[in-house]
Amino acid sequence: MRVAILDDYQGVARDLADWSQLPAGSDLTVFERPLGNTDEVAAALEPFDVLVIMRERTPFPASLIERLPNLKLLVTTGARNNAVDLKACAARGIPVCGTRMVGAPTAELTWGLILALAKRIPTEERALREGRWQTGLTGDLGGKRLGLVGLGKLGSKVAKVGQAFGMEVVAWSPNLTDERAAEAGVTRVEKRDLFATSDVVSVHLVLSDRTRGVVGADEIGAMKPSAFLVNTSRAGLVDEAALAHALRHGHIGGAGIDVFPVEPLPADSLWLSLPNTVLTPHLGYVTRENYAVFYRDALEDILAWTAGSPVRLLSPA
């Protein structure tokens, strides 16, 4: 059995699970860098029986799956992967298994970005290394309004930290009710009100046809000139052109971004030239604790499949 692990950017996959438990005679290959375009991916992966993929880093549309004649099992880290065509896998009889996740690392990163913006941490750190001292004023969070676009598992955790800072927390999502918001100690407001009155807007929705572009030009245009927008969810939730325009022209105070339309971020990406931003390379789920669960569960998925009893199967919608 030939097994490949994809997109192990940090080179940690071999150390975080005991791959010696694979069936005798198995061959394990680890790809640490992105494989390139669809043709390059197909050529590199054609020999493998089992693939372990890291979240949505390498898409698996039907056009790629059709070019992998030896593929018998696909394992994705996490409990969902919108970049895998589950129907195409099912049509080929290829089971797709997921893994668990631990904690709420994306909520923690959200606060890292909010604090970096409010306290000017990257700007002042760079200035200090360049010999300059206290180049601007930072801002307080206490008494300010935190607006959450989405109040699910992650949004609720972000809300609790905002409340601990003494912030007023409001929320909106397509299905949010007053009762659900009250359970989290949060006030539900209309979408326009959230963007117009919040000092920090943080996005926590699952990307779908319904939510794509949910933060558009109208919403960004309604924000205060001093307000920050933070997105640790998915790039497609926010209108990239509208946000770039607002940042270039100083219409909002800044943005903290962890997710991008193209990843890894190209060297000529417009994001690298935009002012008033704190950028991170999709780190929301990238923790040692989470990766340990990912790879151990991936190994367990493979072993369960070889024993004829696959676990954590993902089904087409």
Residues 146 and 167 sit within 8 Å (Cβ to Cβ): yes
What's the pTM value of the predicted model, to 2 decimals?
0.94
The CA distance from 69 to 142, in Å, is: 57
Give the active site residues.
Answer: 234, 263, 282
- β-bridge partners, 29: 4
The dihedral built from the CA positions of residue 65, 68, 70 and 71, taken in this order, carries a sign that is: negative
Place of tokens 């970096």: 116
| CATH architecture assignment, domain 2-101+287-306 | 3-Layer(aba) Sandwich (3.40)
Supply φ then ψ for residue 188, to 5 degrees: -80, 135
Residue 70: what pLDDT? 98
Question: Distance (Å, rounded) from C-alpha 30 to C-alpha 12?
Answer: 10
State residue 9's pLDDT score.
97
DSSP assignment of the chain equals -EEEE---TTS-HHHHS-GGGSPTT-EEEE--S---SHHHHHHHHTT-SEEEE-TTSS-B-HHHHTT-TT--EEEESSS--TTB-HHHHHHHT--EE-----S-HHHHHHHHHHHHHHTTHHHHHHHHHTT----S-----TT-EEEEE--SHHHHHHHHHHHHTT-EEEEE-TT--HHHHHHTT-EE--HHHHHHH-SEEEE-----TTTTT-B-HHHHHHS-TT-EEEE-S-GGGB-HHHHHHHHHTTSSSEEEE---SSSSPPTT-GGGG-SSEEE-SS-TT--HHHHHHHHHHHHHHHHHHHTT---SB----
Domains 2-101+287-306 and 105-279 are alike in CATH topology: yes
Round to whole Å and give the CA distance between 33 and 260. Answer: 18
For the domain spanning 105-279, the CATH number is 3.40.50.720
Q: Which two tokens stand for residue 283?
A: 């780190």
CA dihedral sign of residues 234, 112, 12, 290:
negative
Whole-number Å distance between alpha carbons of 62 and 79 = 20
Cβ(126)–Cβ(145) below 8 Å: no
All structural domains of the chain with their residue ranges: 2-101+287-306, 105-279
| Pairing of β 2-5 and β 27-30 | parallel
- What was the pLDDT predicted at 317? 75
Angstrom distance (rounded) from CA 57 to CA 82: 11
Residue 117: phi, psi to the nearest 5?
A: -70, -50
> What's residue 305's pLDDT?
98
Question: What does the pLDDT profile of the chain (317 residues) look like in tens digits?
Answer: 999 999 999 999 999 999 999 999 999 999 999 998 999 999 999 999 999 999 999 999 999 999 999 999 999 999 999 999 999 999 999 999 999 999 899 999 999 999 999 999 999 999 999 999 999 999 999 999 999 999 999 999 999 999 999 999 999 999 999 999 999 999 999 999 999 999 999 999 999 999 999 999 999 999 999 999 999 999 999 999 999 999 999 999 999 999 999 999 999 999 999 999 999 999 999 999 999 999 999 999 999 999 999 999 999 97
